[in-house]
Amino acid sequence: MAQKGKDKGKKRVVAVGVMGQAHIKASFNNIIISMTNVTGQVISWSSAGKMGFRGSKKNTPYAAQVAAQECAQKAYDLGLRKVDVFVKGPGAGRESAIRTIQNVGIDVAMIKDVTPLPHNGCRPPKRRRV
């Protein structure tokens, strides 16, 4: 039988430098923001679902703004000051998340769209008839 209140292990210590990366994944259903150091270790992360938004409200610019605010503030408090932003996906709230990262006080050095584009790969889903 498992013991109650047992430790899950030591918390991983991540070296936070002044420079880092912000990864924004904006899908049709949610937005996930991760702040990493230069080597790619996650410093802080947040999503619209984590911030309490449910259903179709997760895919709004306001939800992206709230999630980016929480993630960027935590990274700023740990010492992150300058980021390269990598945006992936077609979802709403991509621009508002970048704007919020800048408003927290983190300098955005570069913005790059890394949305994967198929070279005629999988068959897309059928068109919706509304």
How high is the mean pLDDT of the chain? 90
CA distance 35 to 129: 39
For the chain, helix, strand, coil in percent to 5 are 25, 25, 45
Global confidence as pTM: 0.84
The per-residue pLDDT for 114 is 95
The per-residue pLDDT for 7 is 62
Q: Can you list the domains of the chain with their CATH numbers?
A: 19-113 (3.30.420.80)
Question: Quick one: tokens of 91?
Answer: 């979802």
The per-residue pLDDT for 15 is 79
DSSP letter at 19? Answer: E
